């Protein structure tokens, strides 16, 4: 909307994208590890959800912060629907508040009003509080993930790395190669 091409902005947008992709990967892993309990009942693997349960509350707060930082003053300067519909204001809005490139003032306003709804309204504040705590304390969920997480493969890789002769490792042994 504003053609912000600063590396810091791209980094923050990449951070949001990474959270979304990690979430998709966890959902896929939970589906791939699902267990058939019979009679048509399948339960997803709980391990990926433990990771998301601990991480997501912090991600949501960070995404809100990123939108605030990138949106900056623009979230405050977005004209309302009534202002856009006002015949005397509309030419001024179209002239002074248009977006970058071929983005019109109305499209720009819609995006920044949506951003404000996500980060600045009373509903946004309640939503952020909900996202932080509806899955429980993030710190507690990290502790539980550490206590109950399956570390079997990681321990096997480390033990194998420490005990095997590296020269004897087969070239096609990917797990050892990854660990090295």
| CA distances to 29, 48, 138 from 133, in Å | 24, 19, 8
Q: How far apart are CA 112 and CA 1, in angstroms?
A: 9
pTM: 0.77
Per-residue pLDDT tens digits of the chain, which is 180 residues long: 889 999 999 999 999 999 999 999 999 999 999 999 999 999 999 999 999 988 998 999 999 999 999 999 998 889 999 999 999 999 999 999 999 999 999 999 999 999 999 999 999 999 888 888 887 788 888 898 888 888 899 999 999 999 988 766 565 566 555 655
Model pLDDT for residues 152-165, shown as the tens digit of each residue: 999 999 999 999 88
Question: What local confidence, expressed as pLDDT, does residue 11 receive?
Answer: 97
Question: What local confidence, expressed as pLDDT, does residue 168 receive?
Answer: 63
Question: String of b and e for 12-23 (b: at least 16 CB within 10 Å)?
Answer: beeeeeebeebb
Question: String of b and e for 68-93 (b: at least 16 CB within 10 Å)?
Answer: bebbeebbeebbeeeebeeeeeeeeb
Residue entry with tokens 């890789």: 157
In CATH, the architecture of 7-148 is: Up-down Bundle (1.20)
Model pLDDT for residues 108-135, shown as the tens digit of each residue: 999 999 999 999 999 999 988 888 888 7
- Domain assignments of the chain as residue spans, ordered by start: 7-148, 150-180
Question: What local confidence, expressed as pLDDT, does residue 180 receive?
Answer: 52
Question: What local confidence, expressed as pLDDT, does residue 112 receive?
Answer: 95
φ/ψ (deg, to 5) at 41: -95, 120
| CB neighbour list of residue 166: distance below 8 Å, 6 or more residues apart | 180
Question: What local confidence, expressed as pLDDT, does residue 12 receive?
Answer: 97
Name the token pair of 70.
């990138």
CA dihedral 98, 9, 68, 86 (to 10 degrees): 0
Question: What local confidence, expressed as pLDDT, does residue 77 receive?
Answer: 86
């Amino acid at each position: 909307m504003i053609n912000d091409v600063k590396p810091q902005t791209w980094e923050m947008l990449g951070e949001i994208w990474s959270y979304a992709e990690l979430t998709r990967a966890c959902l896929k892993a939970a589906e791939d590890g699902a267990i058939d309990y019979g009679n048509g009942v399948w339960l997803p693997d709980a391990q990926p959800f433990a990771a998301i349960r601990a991480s997501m509350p912090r991600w949501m707060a960070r995404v809100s912060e990123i939108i605030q930082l990138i949106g900056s003053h623009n979230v405050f300067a977005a004209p309302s629907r009534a202002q856009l519909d006002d015949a005397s204001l509309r030419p001024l809005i179209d002239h002074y508040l248009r977006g970058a490139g071929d983005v019109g003032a109305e499209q720009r306003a819609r995006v920044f009003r949506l951003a404000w709804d996500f980060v600045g309204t009373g509903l946004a504040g309640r939503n952020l509080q909900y996202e932080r705590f509806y899955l429980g304390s993030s710190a507690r969920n990290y502790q539980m993930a550490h206590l109950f997480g399956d570390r079997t493969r990681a321990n096997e890789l480390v033990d194998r790395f420490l005990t095997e002769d590296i020269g004897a490792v087969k070239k096609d042994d990917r797990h050892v190669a990854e660990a090295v």
